[in-house]
Amino acid sequence: MNQSEAKKRIEELKHQLNKFDHYYYDKALPLITDYEYDELYNELKSIENTFPLLITEDSPTQRVLENTITGFNKIKHNPKMYSLENTYSDNELSNFLKRIKKDTNKINEFIIEPKIDGVAVSIIYENGVFKKAISRGNGITGDDITNNIKTIEELPLVLEGELTGELIVRGEVFFTKETFKELAETYGFSNARNAASGTLKLLNSREAAKRHLSIRIHTVITGLADTDNEILNKLKQMKLPVIEMTKIVNSAENVIKTKDIWKEKRFELPYETDGIVIKLNKLSMRKKIGYTNKSPKWAFAFKYKPENAITKISSVDFQIGRTGVITPVANLEPVQLSGTIVKRATIHNFDEIKRLDIQINDFVEVEKSGEIIPKIIKVIKEKRNGDNTFKIKKPKICPSCRSELIHYNDEVALRCINVNCPARIEGNISHFVSKTGMNIENVGPALIKQLLNENIISSMSDLYKLEIETILPVERMAEKSAENVINSINASKDVPLHRFIYALGIRNVGEYLANILADTYKSIDKLMDAKYDEMMKINGIGDEVAQSVIMFFKNEKNREEIENLLKNGVNPILQIKRNILEEKKFVITGHLDEFTRDSVKRSIIENGGIVLNTISKETDFLIAGENSGSKIKKAEKMNVKIISEKEYLQMLEK
């Protein structure tokens, strides 16, 4: 390749990569896989290394990406946030290790850690107290995402130990595999990293809190010790969440061995990883080697190639999750992938079908990067042959219960909202009988499953038709146990209205909002006939909640089920709320003797108080039980009154 050809190819690659960056960072919509992107990026880097005079400041190889967000204050990083050089090549990894040895003139100790597929953030503590959080942005300036980061339950707002001055830590924000599985069903997300990035960009931190982000810290800017390993141990003592499975190795050979072992071992972690990070352990050596304009020279990321295969889509099923979300699942011609025969692949949602232009009979590329179910990443359109493919039609009725499907304005997901849909019923009944719902003791998940499998019940209201003789034939059901079950069901009939509303499982309606709806409408009949406009006038109710409630009660099968519950003796009663606590704001910490965490929250709400998750200047009381954590220190610093469980009970007696 001569210089003229190189210049032309560089411009082509820059144009492509800038386009992919725009969709990935601005729209959270990846047009190609990470592996395909990295291949193009590495091609550009290779050409630029051969023709260094063609490198320009606007090249993707010269800048840290991730745009700042409209609506957030901009903050300058001090120091700059760098990104890691990465490779899929054993050769390049070996070259990095040789360069380290040459630059330091010695055999070095390395620390190896999993490379979390998350979103980089910088967090600042002042005298041990959380001060602010900043997104990576362009590496020089990021967004003030303090309120959204504060919703991460694992992250302490006050650190353990006597700390003075400023402490800057950096880490990765992500969703655990379990959390993302639930979110994908609820919101129709298809990519965990993009979902985490999108959550940090939400202007409403309450919505961010609902999604339960996680974080792991991997870097400290402020000096705490001589080695990375010692620093991580100090962070643990401060109760900061640090990356698991770090390993110290003292040779290039052991780096390679660890890299090969962790190719499979990384799947044991609760979050997605796409490789490993290799860093010099000694900070003095890092200082000696330094940085390029974009990356530290003392660290390197090795990424594992995802395993792919090409096969054909024979048909598409529509799977209904517990929350009613319809997920398209492709049935494939069997293909070998990651040591197993793959016959199905998730398509996540209907926007994904449109984006990839997936059709029945298409040949597709499927990828498996540790997930249980592989995903379709590309359609091989060159293999289409005339009219042999067929469009995938979005269903209008639920394939399980034949109810009309609905589509909320704020999400891509298509939903069945019939509470008695057979595909949803087990999860719905479990929610219905829970302590915070109808509080039906002796009816747990195992019994619910048995009753459904044996066709003894098919709805929530069927529970109230049960008799001792009906359930005695159930496996391991003795007469005394059957009596206890029936007594528990009968005892639940007189139920506070707010708990009945919560038990119905209306999307976006938790305990707190169920209380507000009960106080406003006074009866289930009036709530069922509520109008959107009047609901929007209620303090604490927004468009998302109002829409969910109206759509839920508009569904004829839901109304029919509520009528059946009432006919079978369920009696939702409006509890007259005592206003003893007069909207005082409470935070709870530690272990309580008289209350569970849920029951003390209910007690506060039922007596006119408000429950907060974190301490702020607005907080009136911190109820502190045994083994209270860092919230005590924060309350003291903010002059929030700290009371015991006994003192809280005395407040209720006044």
DSSP assignment letter at 266: G
Question: Which among 409, 572, 395 is positioned nearest to 498, based on CA atoms?
Answer: 572
φ, ψ at 474 (rounded to 5°): -65, 140
- State the Cα–Cα distance between residues 100 and 107, nearest whole angstrom: 9
- State the Cα–Cα distance between residues 82 and 221, nearest whole angstrom: 12
Please, are residues 547 and 572 in contact by the beta-carbon 8 Å criterion? no
Parallel/antiparallel/unpaired status of strands 585-589 and 166-174: unpaired
Three state DSSP letters for 351-407: HHHHHHCCEECCEEEEEECCCCCCEEEEECHHHCCCCCCEECCCCCECCCCCCECEC
Catalytic site residues? 115
Question: Which among 607, 605, 608, 611 is positioned nearest to 586, based on CA atoms?
Answer: 611
Measured at the CA of 575, the angle between CA 532 and CA 491, to 5 degrees, comes to: 110
Residue with tokens 């000096």: 223
Task: Show contacts of 645-648: CB within 8 Å, 24+ apart.
Answer: 645/592, 645/593, 645/594, 645/595, 648/600, 648/621, 648/623
Question: Which among 610, 601, 613 is positioned nearest to 502, based on CA atoms?
Answer: 601
- State the Cα–Cα distance between residues 250 and 3, nearest whole angstrom: 42
Where do runs of H (alpha helix) occur along 81-135?
90-104
Three state DSSP letters for 191-240: CHHHHHHHHHCCCCHHHHHHHCCEEEEEEECCCCCCEHHHHHHHHHHCCC
For the chain, give the number of residues: 654
- State the Cα–Cα distance between residues 75 and 77, nearest whole angstrom: 6
- State the Cα–Cα distance between residues 227 and 238, nearest whole angstrom: 17
Rounded alpha-carbon distances, angstroms, from residue 138 to 38, 74, 141: 19, 11, 6
Residue with tokens 């990465």: 86
Where do runs of H (alpha helix) occur along 414-478?
425-433, 445-453, 468-471
Chain centroid offset of residue 166 CA: 29
HSE, side-chain direction, 13 A CA sphere, residue 154: 17
- State the Cα–Cα distance between residues 458 and 449, nearest whole angstrom: 11
Rounded alpha-carbon distances, angstroms, from residue 480 to 442, 446, 485: 11, 18, 9
Question: Which among 329, 317, 332 is positioned nearest to 399, based on CA atoms?
Answer: 317
Collect all residues with Cβ–Cβ distance below 8 Å to 534 and sequence separation of at least 6: none
φ, ψ at 365 (rounded to 5°): -100, 125
Please, are residues 644 and 632 in contact by the beta-carbon 8 Å criterion? no
Question: Which among 604, 387, 416 is positioned nearest to 512, based on CA atoms?
Answer: 604
